[in-house]
Amino acid sequence: MSQPGTPAVLEMRDLRIRYHTAAGKVIQAVNGISLRLERGEVLGVVGESGSGKSTVGLAAMGLLPFEARPAAEGELRVRNRLLAGMSAAELRAMRGTDIAMVFQDPMVSLHPQLTVNKQIVEVLEKLSGHKDKAHRQRATELLRQVGIAGPERVAQAYPYELSGGMRQRVMIAMAIAGEPAVLIADEPTTALDVTVAAQIVNLLLELRQRLGMAMLYITHDLALLAGVADRIIVMYGGRIVESGDIRDIYARPQHPYTRALLGSVLRIDRPTRELRPIPGSPVDPGNLPAGCAFAVRCPERMDRCTLELPMPVNIGPGHVAACWRLVPVNDRGPV
């Protein structure tokens, strides 16, 4: 929950991002997102493909595609500094020290022809602004911190010689080199086996403790997120449809979309022959409807839903959802 007075390390207010495709189509990727991330907190961002969840992460890093930048509206602050006015040099200085990111596929982010050691040393040079013999040793130390056994050997390896899990550990080592206040983790375990995914999640949580780092954890996997986040936001069509404390949302999901998402997961501990798929496809951010974006797939749809956009209402302590079926707590009258 956001407490007034505590400074947020990452803050978004009514963030809107849209861009034009080569075909001239307008993609409304993010349509009014507000969130606060406090020091040391893990905020989970859940959504399907096209929900805008990855765009939110890229925006926080100042890494939006060029064509999306002029159209970004709203406020985005990292450690209380507004991103909008920053120069390219200021943005570069911010990345790594204030905020860093880990992606789904480390093979894309790592340079294939450089050893692990070289790549980490490059990051350290960028962070410190100079070359230093001590960087080599610091690189090995970072590899040890991310749980790599035999860091000296791995430092000399090329990315293709490492497993997916090891590559992700290397990416994490590079991301934490500057001890950032915020780590954006965008599907960091999606390409990994469940066993290795569990190890990576544990590592991230351990680093968060040790470094006091806040995390924005972006995923489509609600099962995995249950062990990671303190609070979550559920995104659909570039908007937040529900947000709140993780235990609240999993135990008492209020938005039909959140309920459908939780219902569609095949739980290994719930041996049932029942299958509850969400019908239809995720909404196309290039073709958003006027009303609630989930309405066409919603089992609880009313006429109003397709015509008017529901506004977020307070439905409990720190628990907010945007659905016409919900009644705000203050309007419920005396109990």
Q: Determine, following the binding rule CB under 8 A, whether residue 166 of this chain makes contact with other proteins.
A: yes
Nearer to other proteins by Cβ, of 16 and 220: the residue is 220
User: Which residues sit opposite 314 in a β-bridge?
Assistant: 320
Token pair 């050893």 is found at 115
Nearer to other proteins by Cβ, of 135 and 259: the residue is 259
Q: Determine, following the binding rule CB under 8 A, whether residue 153 of this chain makes contact with other proteins.
A: no
Nearer to other proteins by Cβ, of 68 and 224: the residue is 224
Q: If you ran DSSP here, which 8-state letter would residue 272 be given?
A: -
- Please state the separation of Cα 283 from the chain's center in Å: 19
Sheet arrangement for strand 73-78? 26-38, 8-20, 73-78, 81-82
Per-residue binding letters, 227-256, with other proteins (x by CB under 8 A): xx-----------------xx--x------
Nearer to other proteins by Cβ, of 26 and 205: the residue is 205
Could you give the CA distance from residue 265 to residue 226 in angstroms, rounded to a whole number?
A: 12
Q: Are strands 26-38 and 8-20 parallel, antiparallel or unpaired?
A: antiparallel
Supply the minimum distance, in Å, between the C-beta of residue 325 and other proteins: 17
Tokens linked to 144: 């040890």
Residue pair 228/44 in contact (Cβ under 8 Å)? The answer is: yes
Using CB under 8 A, which of 37, 58, 59, 262 touches other proteins?
A: 262
- Please state the separation of Cα 56 from the chain's center in Å: 7
Nearer to other proteins by Cβ, of 123 and 145: the residue is 145
Q: Determine, following the binding rule CB under 8 A, whether residue 14 of this chain makes contact with other proteins.
A: no
**Interactions with other proteins, residue window 45-74 (CB under 8 A):** 48-49
Residues that bind other proteins (CB under 8 A): 48-49, 161, 163-166, 193-199, 202, 205, 220-228, 246-247, 250, 259-279, 281-282
